[in-house]
Structure 1
Amino acid sequence: MSILVIADHNNQTLNGATLNVVAAAQKIGGDITVLVAGSGAQAVADAAAKVTGVSKVLLADNAVYANQLAENVAKLVADLAKGGYKYVLAASTTTGKNILPRAAALLDVSMITDIIAVESANTFKRPIYAGNAIATVQSDEAIIVGTVRGTAFDPVAAEGGSAAVETVGEVADAGVSSFVNEEIVKLDRPELTAARIVVSGGRGVGSGENYHKVLDPLADKLGAAQGASRAAVDAGFVPNDFQVGQTGKIVAPDLYVAVGISGAIQHLAGMKDSKVIVAINKDEEAPINSVADYWLVGDLNTVIPELVSKL
C-alpha cells in the first residue's frame, strides 16, 4: 500500500507535525511518500528525505505553490493520488485542514478528520463532541483521505532516513485564488503547538494588560509558550494565534498551566491530552479541575506572583 503524506512547511523548514503524520502512516503500513509543494523549498525536501520511514520525497517547486494556496495544492494532491496512492494524509494544522477537504472533493471521496489512532488498514479512531466521545470509523473508499491529530502520535526521528527526492513537473494552477499579503506575528517564545510547556490564561485574568502583567513572568521563568481560552481571545486580551481549543490550536505539552480558565468543553478538547495539567482558579467547582493533575483554588493575581518568586 502506498501512502502520500503532505508536508507542512514554510518553504524553509519542515514543520514537526509532519513527523507525527509519518508516525501514523507507519501504523497503517506501506511505502510512505512525502509531498513537498512550495517554491524554493529544496531544503524542506532534503529534510523530509532524512525522516525515518520515508521511502520517497516528491518536490513540486513552482511559484504557484509559493504560499500553498489550498486550491492549487489540492488539485496537485488529487492528481498525484490518482496515480496509485491508497492513502493521503496530512496534519490537522491550518494548512492540512485547508487542503485535504478540497482534495477529497476532487477525488469524490469522503474524508476522515482528526485521526487519533489506527486500528487497521481501513479503521481509525477520531474524537467527536469536542472529545467527549471517540468514534471508530471504517472507510471503504478507493482512496482514504484523512487528517492526523499530531498530539496523538509520537513523532518519528527527523534523522536516519535516506529517501530519494524526485521532482514533480506538473503545475496545477486552479486560477481561482491569489495570494495578497500576510502579517506574521514574531514571538520570542516557543511556537505554541510545539512547546514542551504552555501557560494559558482565560477570562479570569481580567484584561489584556493583566494577562501580560501576571503571566509573562511565569512564562519567562518556565521558558513556556503562551496560550489562551477562546473567551480571552474574544475579549481581545491576546491575538487569535494564542487560542487553544476545539476552534483553536490542539496542544499536548509536557506541562500545561491553565490560569483563570473555567474549562469549557471546547477548551478541554484542545489541551486535555497534556501530560501534566495544572489549574489555578478561584472557583473550586471549575470544570478544568476535573482534568487537572494539580489544581489550586486562589486569586491568580496573588498566586502567580508568589509562584514566580519561588521558581
Structure 2
Amino acid sequence: MADVLVVVDHVEGVVRKPSLEVLTLARRLGTPVALALGPGAGGTAQAVGGHGVERVLVNEGDEFADFSVVPRVDAVQAAVEAVSPVAVLFVSSGENKEIAARLALRVGSGVIVDAVDVEPDAKGPVVVQSVFAAAYTTRSRVTRGVPVITVKPNSAPVEPAVGAGVVEELPVRFGDVSRVARVVERTARVSSGRPELTEAAIVVSGGRGLGSGEGFALIEGLADALGAAVGASRAAVDAGWYPHAHQVGQTGKSVSPQLYIASGISGAIQHRAGMQTSKTIVAINKDPEAPIFDLVDYGVVGDLHTVVPQLTDDINTRKN
C-alpha cells in the first residue's frame, strides 16, 4: 500500500489523542508513516506503532524548541521527499495549519484545512468539510501535488492496529530563514486538570446568561462532574468573565466534541461557527426563542442557575 505521512503532535514523547484519530483516518488511504519532531520524539514509537504505523521518522533537534514554525516546515518537507506519500495529514491547530500552508507552497501542492473525514479514491483522497457554520458539507480533493490536509480533533474514533513502529532518524537541513524568529521566553500555563478544549469529548460552555464571572463556578462544577472542558461565548469573554483561551466561536476555538452543553448562550452565528459540528448538542436557556434551540438535539427552557446545579447534583449522585 502507498504511504501516508502523519505529523504527530506529542509532549515529550506522549502522543496526543487527536494524532491517534488522524492515524485511524490515514489507514483508510494507505500505510501510515509517522513524523515526530522535538524533544522526546523517539518515545512516540510504541504509541503510534499500536495504531498501524510501520515507520516513525524522528528528529529531536534543538531548532524545534528554540525557533518558530519554520524548522518544522523544513522537517516535514524533508519527510515528504524521503517518503513520497500520497497525502500528508496533520491535526488541525493554529500552528499546524500554518505549517501545512507553508509546506504546500514549498512542494507545489494544494492544502485543505479543518477536514472532518477523508475518503479513499483512485484520483486522490476526498476530503469532507463542514463549512459556513456547518450549514453545508463539502467534498473536495487536491488536484496538483501531494494533498496536504489538516483534520479537526474528534472527527474520528481511535482504532488501534498492529504496526512495527520502527524508528528512523530523519536528517533535516535547516535553512537560514528557519533561525530568524527565536523563542526567547515561555510561561507555563497553570493546569486546571480539565481536558484541552479542542480535544475534549465533552464541553460545557457558559455565556451572557450567567450574569457575571462568578456564574462560571456553575459551569466548572458541571464540567468537573462530567470530566469535561470549559468553554465560553464571545460575550462572556469580552465581558472579562472567563479567559479568551476558552472562547468557542468564529474568533475563538472550534470544537467538535461528542457532547456540547451550552448554558445561557443565545446561539449567535459567531458562536455556532465554532461548535455546530458537535455530535450531540444540549442547550439550557430561559428564552424559548433563543436561536440556539434551532440546532440542538435536546433543549431545556429554564433558568440555568436552577437547572445546572440540579443537573450537576444528579450526575454526581449517579456517579456515586
State the TM-score, normalized to the length of structure 1.
Answer: 0.90
Structure 2 residue 196 is matched with structure 1 residue 195: no
**CA offsets 1:152-207 (integer angstroms, 9 cap, x no match):** 222232x7432211011324251221112233231122222333332110122122
Q: Is this contact kept in 2: 1:198–1:255, CA < 8 A?
A: yes
Q: How does 1:130-141 map to 2 (within 5 A)?
A: 130-141=133-144
**CA offsets 1:38-87 (integer angstroms, 9 cap, x no match):** 12332224422x23221210001111112673111012212321332231
**Residue 56 of structure 2 aligns with which residue?**
57
Aligned counterpart in structure 2 of residue 237 of structure 1, from 235, 238, 241: 241
Tell me the CA shift for residue 285 of structure 1.
1.4
Change (3 A) 1:227 1:153: same
**Residue 72 of structure 2 aligns with which residue?**
73
Q: Is this contact kept in 1: 2:108–2:144, CA < 8 A?
A: no
**Aligned mates of 2:191, 2:9 — CA distance in 1:** 19
3-state SS, counterpart of residue 133 of structure 2: helix
Change (3 A) 1:67 1:264: farther
Q: Is this contact kept in 2: 1:38–1:62, CA < 8 A?
A: yes
**Residue 171 of structure 2 aligns with which residue?**
169
* Alignment RMSD (CA, Å): 2.1
Structure 2 residue 313 is matched with structure 1 residue 283: no
Q: How does 1:271-310 map to 2 (within 5 A)?
A: 271-310=275-314
Tell me the CA shift for residue 95 of structure 1.
3.2
Q: Is this contact kept in 1: 2:205–2:262, CA < 8 A?
A: yes
Tell me the CA shift for residue 293 of structure 1.
1.8
Q: Is this contact kept in 1: 2:67–2:181, CA < 8 A?
A: no
Q: Is this contact kept in 2: 1:19–1:51, CA < 8 A?
A: no
Change (3 A) 1:55 1:12: closer
**Aligned mates of 1:79, 1:286 — CA distance in 2:** 51
**Aligned mates of 1:107, 1:38 — CA distance in 2:** 23
3-state SS, counterpart of residue 270 of structure 1: coil
Q: Is this contact kept in 1: 2:52–2:163, CA < 8 A?
A: yes
Q: Which amino acid aligns with 1:165?
A: V
Tell me the CA shift for residue 144 of structure 1.
1.0
Structure 2 residue 181 is matched with structure 1 residue 182: no
- Paired residues, what number? 307
Change (3 A) 1:289 1:246: same
Tell me the CA shift for residue 259 of structure 1.
0.3
**Residue 253 of structure 2 aligns with which residue?**
249
Where structure 2 has 5 or more consecutive residues not aligned to the other structure, the ranges are 316-320
**Residue 8 of structure 1 aligns with which residue?**
9
Change (3 A) 1:98 1:2: same
Q: Which amino acid aligns with 1:5?
A: V
**Residue 218 of structure 1 aligns with which residue?**
222
Where structure 1 has 5 or more consecutive residues not aligned to the other structure, the ranges are none
**Residue 39 of structure 1 aligns with which residue?**
39
Residue identity (%):
40
Structure 2 residue 88 is matched with structure 1 residue 122: no
Change (3 A) 1:71 1:56: same
Q: Is this contact kept in 2: 1:73–1:99, CA < 8 A?
A: yes
**Deviating more after overlay: 116-125 vs 137-146:** 116-125
**Residue 96 of structure 1 aligns with which residue?**
96
**Deviating more after overlay: 235-244 vs 115-124:** 115-124
Q: Is this contact kept in 2: 1:278–1:292, CA < 8 A?
A: yes
Aligned counterpart in structure 2 of residue 270 of structure 1, from 267, 274, 279: 274
**Residue 144 of structure 1 aligns with which residue?**
147
State the TM-score, normalized to the length of structure 2.
Answer: 0.87
Tell me the CA shift for residue 232 of structure 1.
1.8
Change (3 A) 1:249 1:75: same
Structure 2 residue 158 is matched with structure 1 residue 155: yes
Tell me the CA shift for residue 17 of structure 1.
0.7
Change (3 A) 1:271 1:168: same
Change (3 A) 1:198 1:150: closer
3-state SS, counterpart of residue 116 of structure 1: strand
Change (3 A) 1:62 1:45: farther
Q: Is this contact kept in 2: 1:56–1:163, CA < 8 A?
A: yes
3-state SS, counterpart of residue 293 of structure 2: helix
3-state SS, counterpart of residue 3 of structure 1: strand
3-state SS, counterpart of residue 233 of structure 1: helix
3-state SS, counterpart of residue 198 of structure 2: helix
